[in-house]
Amino acid sequence: MSEKDIFVLGIETSCDETAAAIVKNGREIIANVVASQMESHQRFGGVVPEIASRHHVEQITLVLEETMRRANMDVNELDAIAVTEGPGLVGALLIGVNAAKALAFAHRIPLVGVHHIAGHIYANRLVQEMKFPLLALVVSGGHTELVYMKEHGMFEVIGETRDDAAGEAYDKVARALQLPYPGGPHIDRLAKEGKPIIDLPRAWLEEGSYDFSFSGLKSAVINTLHNAKQRGETLRPEDMAASFQASVVEVLVEKTMQAAAHYGVKQILLAGGVAANEGLRTQLREQMKRLPEVELVIPPLSLCTDNAAMIAAAGTVLLQQGKRASMALNANPSLLL
């Protein structure tokens, strides 16, 4: 028996990308459009919420139209609209949520609210089918989490950051090294040219904990730079980048390995913007040799950063599980997974 194909339109506006995408059966990208505002925020050294919201209003229907055009589809042919309801910047989220509601209302199509992190995790399903139980390492500007999934749509956060997200630490250290915003890619690039010879701490926290902490590391970098300057020494930024990255990556990878072994997972998924980080990818691949039965899935760069295909992919599963949002769906900046 062949089942009918399911087409879901995803909408994502939680931060500084206005994105829409259509995904077939939760696995196949039909169209994927992302309008980035990164350049508008660069001069402010970070995302300015009010400016992000203004850009989303400017872009939203253009992005929707481009998505439908590329898919060569009509909104009436869609089975559902999936939208990021949180977490994120509330004013930014509101644009996607209200556009999604208007579309669902106009065409009487089911509406599904999606958690942004669930989206990042499901980006992997656009590459490789999920095998449960699995463990997802989610690392981005706003998140550092280890999420255990026993089956579709079930998310258990087994570890999270107690202070800064990994991506946040990257941005702050990049600023200390006077690198342009956003700092992550610059540190990743510099790290390749340096050696991890500067002694920096690793925050393992208490025995058996899968939580993370990066604020101590960030302070250590700033202090080391400051002390060196006072002594009139110069540290090679390449070495500092490599040492910082080594510390972050070692903790992320080691805790992932321990959790994967402890929970007996079949798959490890990497998700979130920092998943684009070469140092992290390399180290994770290397350490996977310790768990030969476990499969590692890393999405292509374009699916690591914020996009709407991942929201459509997660939304498809939720739709199939019967989840529906009403016209009263709201943006929730601190939504829990």
Partner 1 sequence: MKVLAIDTSTFVMGIAVVDGQVVKGEIITNLKKNHSIRVMPAIESLLQECDMSPKEIERIVVAKGPGSYTGVRIGVTIAKTLAWTLGISLVGVSSLEAMAASAKYFQGLIVPLMDARRGQIYTGLYKAEGGNIQSIVADQVILATDWANELKAYDEPILLVGNDSSLHEASFIQTLNRAVQVASFTLHNPRPSELAWLGMHREPEDIHTFVPNYIRLAEAEANWLARQQERTEC
Binding-site ranges for partner 1 (CB under 8 A): 43-44, 48, 50-51, 53-54, 56-58, 60-62, 64-65, 75, 91, 94-95, 97-99, 101-103, 105-108, 326-328, 330-331
Q: How far is the CB of 179 from partner 1 (least distance, A)?
A: 20
How many CA atoms within 13 Å lie on the side-chain side of 172? Answer: 19
Using only C-alpha atoms, the chain has a radius of gyration, in whole angstroms, of: 20
Please state, in angstroms and rounded to a whole number, the distance separating the CA atoms of residues 50 and 37.
12
Give the C-alpha separation, 268 to 299, whole Å.
12
With CB under 5 to 8 Å by kind, the binding choice for 140 among Zn ion, partner 1, none is: Zn ion
Q: Shortest gap between Cβ of 187 and partner 1 (angstroms)?
A: 25
252 contact choice in Zn ion, partner 1, none (CB below 5 to 8 Å, kind-dependent):
none
Contact positions vs Zn ion (CB under 5 A): 140, 306
Q: How far is the CB of 141 from Zn ion (least distance, A)?
A: 7
Rounded-to-10 torsion of CA 172, 175, 181, 182 = -30
143 is in an annotated binding site: no
**Do residues 171 and 188 lie in contact, with contact meaning Cβ atoms separated by under 8 Å?**
no
The distance of closest approach from Cβ of residue 67 to Zn ion in the complex, given in angstroms and rounded to an integer, is 19
Residue 151 token pair: 């089956």
Give which of Zn ion, partner 1, none residue 62 binds (C-beta under 5 to 8 Å, depending on kind).
Answer: partner 1
Q: How far is the CB of 66 from partner 1 (least distance, A)?
A: 10
Is 139 marked as a binding-site residue? yes
CB 208 to Zn ion: min, Å: 28
Was 163 annotated as part of a binding site?
no
95 binds, among Zn ion, partner 1, none (CB under 5 to 8 A by kind): partner 1
Provide the CA 220 distance to its chain's centre, in angstroms.
26
Instruction: Return all residues near 312 (Cβ < 8 A) that are at least 6 apart.
Output: 8, 9, 10, 21, 22, 23, 26, 82
| 184 known ligand binder | yes
Number of helices and strands in the chain (H, E): 11, 10
Closest to partner 1 by CB, 30 vs 274, is: 30
Contacted by 306, from partner 1, Zn ion, none: CB < 5 to 8 Å by type: Zn ion
Q: Can you read off the two tokens belonging to residue 113?
A: 């609210």
HSE on the CB side for 278, CA within 13 Å? 11
CB of 147 to partner 1, least distance (A): 28
Closest to partner 1 by CB, 14 vs 287, is: 14
Residue least distant from Zn ion (Cβ): 306
Is 188 one of the annotated binding-site residues? yes
Q: Is 306 annotated as a binding residue?
A: yes
Q: Which is nearer to partner 1, 112 or 139 (CB)?
A: 112
**Dist CA 298 CA 12 (whole Å):** 21
Residue with tokens 């310790």: 290
Residue with Cβ nearer Zn ion (225 or 311) = 311
Structure-token pair, residue 154: 């079930």
149 — alpha (psi -120 to 50), left (phi > 0) or beta? beta
Alpha carbons within 13 angstroms on the beta-carbon side of residue 328 total 0
- 16 is annotated as contributing to ligand binding: no
Sheet architecture: strand order including 144-149: 156-160, 144-149, 134-139, 267-271, 295-297
Q: Nearer Cβ to Zn ion, position 167 or 237?
A: 167
116 has binding-site annotation: yes
Question: Which one, 44 or 132, has the nearer CB to partner 1?
Answer: 44
Binding residues: 116, 120, 138-142, 171, 184, 188, 277, 306
